[in-house]
A and B are shown apart, each in its own frame.
Chain A
Amino acid sequence: MLQFAKGFIKDERGEDLIEYGLLAAFVAAIAVAVIIADPLGLMGAVEGAYQSAVDALNGM
């Protein structure tokens, strides 16, 4: 784990393998569409949770 953290901090590469980028883009596009269309009412649930967290933190 420490080795992983050291490698992560040290690594400054700023490029993506195209094949992986395409796969990730496909999954992300579906996620964005789900968030925007929101067929399951997830956004309301997330916003509700967010508001609860803000209210709880403000009440501290």
Chain B
Amino acid sequence: MNSWMTGGAVLLCGIATWWDLRYRRIPNLLTLPALGLALCLHGATEAGPGLLLSAGGALAAGALLLPGYVMRFTGAGDVKLLMAVGAFLSFPQALMAGLLALVLGGVLGLLTALRFGRLGHVLTRSFGLARWLAHRAKGSPLVRPMPSGLRVPFGVAIALATVLIVLVPGLGGSR
């Protein structure tokens, strides 16, 4: 991973975090050009293998959030941001960044629930959601549980995970 790629990923995350905290959305105007730029940079600096691994990183990272988007639990802005970050970081760092973002998103969720004094409520509903997902996987009908309505700006978790991957050596796997 060269400094252009890490710099690009961190810069993208910095802008996306500000936008997400302020407007609770991550604009296409930011994520889609960043995705294209990352693919072009990898293709230009590392030729075919770089381009393929960058595309692989984007797809692997995006695939982690896509089920959440399909079930309407996650915004597509988050999915596209993680895809762009994945394209910058390339495979396998992108996969680790995505997993770390999910973990940090959970921590952020716990802190948000604590802040609003609704931790017990959120945990109960999480178990309900897990039960619903398990029943859904088995094909047996069960009423979809009502969500608490609390949401977290997931772009922040993606940014924190990206910074961790960039700063902690060996965390993103070896290349």
Taking beta carbons and an 8 Å cutoff, which residues of A are in contact with B? 7-29, 31-32, 35, 43, 46-47, 50, 53-54, 57-58, 60
Contacts and interface: CB of A to CB of B under 8 A. Distances in A.
A12 B125 contact: no
B105 to A, nearest CB: 5
B: interface residue count bin: 35 or more
B106 A14 contact: no
A46 B95 CA distance: 12
B69 A25 contact: no
Contact of B68 (A11, A24, A35): A24
Interface in B106-134: 106-110, 112-113, 122-123, 125-126, 128-130, 133
Contacts of B79: 8
Given A17-B147, A57-B48, A26 B91 contact: no
